[in-house]
Amino acid sequence: MKILITGASGVVGQDLVPLLARPGVQLLLAGPDPEKLAALFPQCETCGDDEIVRRARGWDLLVHIAVDGKGHGGEARVRASDALLAGMANTARQAGIGRLLAIFPVHARGQLSQPVQIEGLDAVTLYVPLVHGARWTGRLRWLNPLPGRLARGLFGILAMLRPTLDVQRLADFILSSEQPGSGSEIILSNSQQDNAWFATSKRLIDLVVAIGVFVVLWWAMALIWAVIRFQSPGPGIFAQTRIGRNGREFVCYKFRTMKLGTRQAGTHEITAAAITPFGRFLRATKLDELPQAWNILCNQMSLVGPRPCLPTQTALIEARERLGVLRIKPGITGLAQINGIDMSDPERLAEWDARYLALQSLRLDISIGLSTLLGSGQGDKVAR
C-alpha cells in the first residue's frame, strides 16, 4: 500500500507516521519544508509540495492531516485548512491517486464547505477529537513524568469529560481494508464504554436523579396518575415493550397520554386525535417521562442516550445496529431529540445517535440535559 501524507510535521502527524510505517506500506511525506520532514522522519521518503505529482503518481491514498493535536482551533484556521485540502485534492487527481482521507478536528464539522468532490477521486472526511499517543502533548504534558498506571488513570478522568482518540486507532482506521464510501463524513473516537470512570460517573448520576425523582416528586407523580385516571378510561401508567441495549427488549413506563385502544405504533404514525387533552400538557412539559425513572433504576435506560424504539420499527433498529448505536443504553432524552429529529426519519435519527455515541462525554450529557430542561426537543411529532 502506497500512502502520501501531508501535514505530517504537526503533533498528530509525528505520532501517527511511525505507526503507519509497517511492512508492505510505503510512505511519502510531502510539505513546504521537506528538509524538516526528513529530520523528523529519517526513515521515510519526503518531498516538496511541487513534487507530489511526479513522486506519487498512481499511489493508493492521500492522507491530509489538518489537526494540531490540541482539539481546538478557530474558524479562520479551519477555513484555511479547507482551502488547502481543495488544492491537495486537485493534486491527488492530477497524480492519479485513487483515494483521499482528510482528517479534521471534530469542531470543524459544520464549518467546512461541502465535502471535496472531484471526479475520479474517492474522498472521505474524518473528524477526530483530542488525539493522544504513547506520550502526552500540549496541555497534557504534565502526565509524562508520572508512573504509567497513574497517568492513564488521571487521563481516564479527563477523558470522561470530552471525547478523545488514541492515535493507534487512527492508524488502524487508515490502514483498514474496509473503508467508507466516497463522500462519507466519519467521526472517529475512543469508546467511552471502555472508560470505567465515565461508566461509573454516568451510572451514579442516573441513580441520583432517578432516586431524587421518586423522593422529591412522588406526590406530583401520584397527582398526575390520578388526573389521568379521572380524565379518561384506562390505566395511569402506560407500559410498552421497547428495544434496549444490545437489542434486548424491555418494558418502558410512561404516564399515559393517549386514549385507551390506540394502536401500538411510533408516535409519528399516530394522529393528534389519539392524544388526550391532559396528555398534550404532559407531552409538552415532558412530565410523561417521569415513570422512566424506574427504568433507570433497573439499569435499562439512562438519562441521556438514543430514544428507545418499538420492536416493529425494524428500519431504525437495523440502522442503529449497523452504526453500533445499540451498544449503549437508550435514554430519556438525547442529542437527536434536542435537535428536533424524531423517529419519522429512521436513517437520519440513527446517524445522529451515532454522532452522540462518537462524541459521548459527561460534558455533552450535561449539555443535553440542560437543553432538555430549557425546552429543546418536544418528542416525536404526531401525524396530522
Least confident of 47-56, 74-83, 129-138, 210-219: 74-83
Q: Helix 148-159 crosses helix 196-231 at what angle (to 10 degrees)?
A: 30
Decide if 92 contacts 62 (C-beta within 8 A). yes
Question: Per residue in 181-227, pLDDT tens?
Answer: 767 888 999 999 889 999 999 999 999 999 999 999 999 999 999 99
pLDDT-based confidence at residue 236 (cuts at 50, 70, 90): very high
Q: Which residues of 102-136 are buried (b: 16+ CB within 10 A; e: fewer)?
A: bbbbbebeebbeeebeeeebbbbbbbbbbbbbeeb
Decide if 126 contacts 202 (C-beta within 8 A). no
- How far is Cα 6 from Cα 41, in angstroms, rounded to an integer? 13
> What per-residue confidence (pLDDT) applies to 73?
46
> What per-residue confidence (pLDDT) applies to 216?
96
Whether 4 shows a pLDDT value over 60: the answer reads yes
Whether 115 shows a pLDDT value over 50: the answer reads yes
Whether 358 shows a pLDDT value over 80: the answer reads yes
Whether 112 shows a pLDDT value over 60: the answer reads no
- Rounded to 5°, angle at Cα 353 from 348 and 356: 130
In this prediction the pTM is 0.86
Residue 236 DSSP one-character state: S
Distances (CA, A) of 105 to 92, 150, 214: 22, 28, 42
Whether 270 shows a pLDDT value over 80: the answer reads no
Whether 80 shows a pLDDT value over 80: the answer reads no
Range among 3-17, 63-77, 169-183, 235-249 rated most confident: 235-249
Beta bridge partners of 102: 64, 125
**Summary mean pLDDT of the chain:** 87
> What per-residue confidence (pLDDT) applies to 125?
87
pLDDT-based confidence at residue 117 (cuts at 50, 70, 90): low
Whether 240 shows a pLDDT value over 80: the answer reads yes
pLDDT-based confidence at residue 176 (cuts at 50, 70, 90): confident
Whether 335 shows a pLDDT value over 80: the answer reads yes
> What per-residue confidence (pLDDT) applies to 382?
52
Whether 116 shows a pLDDT value over 90: the answer reads no
pLDDT-based confidence at residue 274 (cuts at 50, 70, 90): confident
pLDDT-based confidence at residue 71 (cuts at 50, 70, 90): very low
pLDDT-based confidence at residue 72 (cuts at 50, 70, 90): very low
- How far is Cα 150 from Cα 324, in angstroms, rounded to an integer? 31
Class of domain 2-190: alpha beta
> What per-residue confidence (pLDDT) applies to 123?
84
Going by DSSP bridges, is the β-strand pair 237-243/130-132 parallel, antiparallel, or unpaired?
A: unpaired
Domain residue ranges in the chain = 2-190, 197-373
Mean pLDDT, rounded, for 344-357:
93
**Percentage with pLDDT > 90 across the chain:** 57
Q: What is the Cα 358 distance to its own chain's centre?
A: 3
